[in-house]
Structure 1
Amino acid sequence: MFKRYELHNHTNQSDASITCRELIDHMEADGVDCFAITDHNTTAGQPIIRKILSEEPERKIKCLYGMEYTTYYGHIVCPVLEEYVPWDSINRRRPELLFEACKRAGAITGVAHPFSYGDPFARGCRFDMEITDFTNVDYIEIVNNPEPLHEVNEPGILWWESLVLRGEKVAACAGMDLHGRDDFSMKFATYAEGKENGDPAAELKEALAAQRTWVSKGLLVLWEIEGDSVRFRLHDAKKKGFVPSDRYALTLKTASGVKAYDLTDGETAVPLGEIGEIAVPKLYAGAPSETLPLEDLICVAPPICVKA
């Protein structure tokens, strides 16, 4: 099965307008499988949510307990961070030190909204840290739903793609960056494979390590290498508010460019020779084209690696 994760959410324990209970209710109402609490520079909401969920076992939703490091040089979102890691010695030119410390404490680490507006509008929201070693970076938040699509999210997608195509093992995720009762309809969520009664934190860690996450509005592109080709098919994640299209296009971005294929029938096969060593599959609403508008993007699928 596929689990829907909402990995970037705030409460009134930091700067949001909703309480911890209201956050749980809002997530449950939209059919989220697992959500994270990632308040700015505080873990104060973690025991509140733990208490609610332990006292109300009829709730099936799961929670990840984390935090968002909110610094002058960028935001590091940790959907899992149960042991607070001090960050007073953060170094813009050596951010790996904080990422490494968080990983030693069992955290999941992500770069939040890397191309958000910074100075003079919102100092620190743009990620200005200089990462040279991505070993301890689990994912890039390639879509931050409230942010402008072209000015902020498009550069985030392109940055992640460039990292993947040069061989970095960094996964992609999305975030609502929730500060209130925002509408989830046609917004990007993060999906990962798991079992019905599986541990969502462990399953997410495994998916991130394998780059097996989907960033999607509701349809997932699944792929499997079969002999000398890759077979693609569509999977409906049953996300509330998803608006289907009458046509779907699959694009494959490689180091040599972009190729497009029709996926309207829900399944297609592409020869391995057309994929190269690494490819990033994406799904769009509409007819196949190498220059599809970002507004029509539906899903960013796990990268395909066919290196020997």
Structure 2
Amino acid sequence: MNWLPFELHTHTPHSDGIHTLHDMCRKAAELGLRGIALTDHNTTSGLADAARVTDETGICIVPGMEWTTFYGHMLTLGVPYCEWRDLGPKDILKGIDRVHRQGGVVGIAHPFSMGSPICTGCHWKYDIRDWHQIDYMEVWHETLPPLRNHNAPAFEQWTNLLNQGVRIAATAGRDWHHSSENSDPPAFTYLGIAGDDRAVPTEAVVEAIRSGRICVSMGPLVTLELRAGGQTYGIGDVVPQAAGESAELSIQVHTPFRTGGHQLLQGPSYTLIVESNLGELCRGTVTESESAFSQTISSEGLTWLRVRLHGLLGMALADVAFTNPLYFEAR
């Protein structure tokens, strides 16, 4: 599995962004990104130069769009265009079905951002009757997302949905409109891509999001493996009932890549917190020289577990990374 950093929420002058697609991809390459999703507001016209820009910059460009309505903003990835203008506050699932039938995924953008009149439709108001139809949520939004107040209720909602049995992924989205030397550092979404990472097809990106093979981070990649019943499972996998109650959990914090020259990690050590539908399972400490952690756990009663990495981000204590869940079949 190749874990590749992506930015999944971007804009160009084809909607309300400042930099061209080429300029953004050139900057993405400087940041160490492997790809972006182009999600202009209600248009896909910016994709016309995507193939040429990828050839010139090496950045994978995933086709997408941000449905921008009075009732909320939704990201559609992996499909060039799906109609959205006939969707009212109670029939968003009709539009989601159109995306799914074309092989794409949908994600709620910044669900707890300030809405009208400050930002028209930015606060999510659509009625979701079946949360299983939503592929992912943007729980970290904007630059320095762990320190943004509107991201805390998004993370909490994601946790509540997991506790209800909804297997929904979580991502970061810079909502990238412009760049400057004084910009705060963004978070990135690492995607677990199977196969050759030299040319990443859109289908592989979509499948990684759909499967929840995701780590969201301000820098370091956090991966986990669970050994149970003679098999090994990772982020996004489902552990079958037959795997038994005792399992060996292994977590690895990989060397962070530097984002545009920012030195993000300031502390000598960071705390790994393993949490689940049953609450916190265990915790440990990692450092640059001791970056692995293992623990035997009981899977009794578990439906999901994930890992958070907590410590100093600049001068503030905050989460600096988290994994998407590993799931367990219901008993």
Q: After TM superposition, is the score higher than 0.5?
A: yes
SS at the partner of 2:36?
strand
Deviation track 1:135-155 (CA, whole Å, cap 9, x = no partner) reads 332210011124784531111
Q: In the superposition, relative to structure 1, how do residues 59 and 112 fare at CA in structure 2: closer, same or farther (>3 Å)? A: same
Q: Which residue of 2 aligns with 1:159?
A: 157
SS at the partner of 1:193?
strand
Q: Which residue of 1 aligns with 2:295?
A: 270
8 Å CA contact retained: 2:60, 2:200: no
8 Å CA contact retained: 1:161, 1:280: no
Q: TM-score by structure 1 length?
A: 0.88
* Identical aligned residues as a percent: 26
Q: Which residue of 2 aligns with 1:187?
A: 186
Q: Which residue of 2 aligns with 1:121?
A: 118
Q: TM-score by structure 2 length?
A: 0.82
Equivalent position amino acid for 1:24 in 2? C
Which of 36, 52, 74 is matched with 1:76 structurally? 74
8 Å CA contact retained: 2:75, 2:109: yes
Deviation track 1:41-85 (CA, whole Å, cap 9, x = no partner) reads 1111110333444xxx35321111111000000000123221x22
8 Å CA contact retained: 1:189, 1:217: yes
Structure 2: runs of 5+ lacking an equivalent: 229-246
Q: Which residue of 2 aligns with 1:290?
A: none
Q: Which residue of 2 aligns with 1:40?
A: 41
C-alpha deviation, 1:198, in angstroms: 4.5
Which of 137, 140, 145 is matched with 1:143 structurally? 140
Q: In the superposition, relative to structure 1, how do residues 187 and 275 fare at CA in structure 2: closer, same or farther (>3 Å)? A: farther
Matched, 1:280 2:298: no
Output the CA distance in 1 between the equivalents of 2:62 and 2:179.
Answer: 19
Q: Which residue of 1 aligns with 2:254?
A: 235
8 Å CA contact retained: 2:272, 2:285: yes
Equivalent position amino acid for 1:285 in 2? G
C-alpha deviation, 1:175, in angstroms: 0.6
SS at the partner of 1:106?
coil
Equivalent position amino acid for 1:243 in 2? L
C-alpha deviation, 1:295, in angstroms: 4.7
Output the CA distance in 1 between the equivalents of 2:300 and 2:210.
Answer: 22
Output the CA distance in 1 between the equivalents of 2:104 and 2:212.
Answer: 17
Which of the two has greater strand per residue? 2
How many residues end up aligned between the 2 structures?
A: 298
8 Å CA contact retained: 1:11, 1:17: yes
Which of 82, 91, 94 is matched with 2:91 structurally? 94
Output the CA distance in 2 between the equivalents of 1:164 and 1:98.
Answer: 23
C-alpha deviation, 1:193, in angstroms: 1.9
Deviation track 1:114-161 (CA, whole Å, cap 9, x = no partner) reads 000012322200011111213332210011124784531111111111
C-alpha deviation, 1:260, in angstroms: 4.9
Q: Which residue of 1 aligns with 2:270?
A: 248
SS at the partner of 2:222?
strand
Equivalent position amino acid for 2:224 in 1? W
Output the CA distance in 2 between the equivalents of 1:100 and 1:242.
Answer: 42
Equivalent position amino acid for 1:85 in 2? C
Pairwise CA RMSD of aligned residues? 2.4
8 Å CA contact retained: 2:140, 2:146: no
8 Å CA contact retained: 1:8, 1:79: no
64-73 vs 277-286, greater mean Cα deviation: 277-286
C-alpha deviation, 1:270, in angstroms: 2.6
8 Å CA contact retained: 1:165, 1:279: no
SS at the partner of 1:14?
coil
Equivalent position amino acid for 2:206 in 1? K
C-alpha deviation, 1:275, in angstroms: 7.9
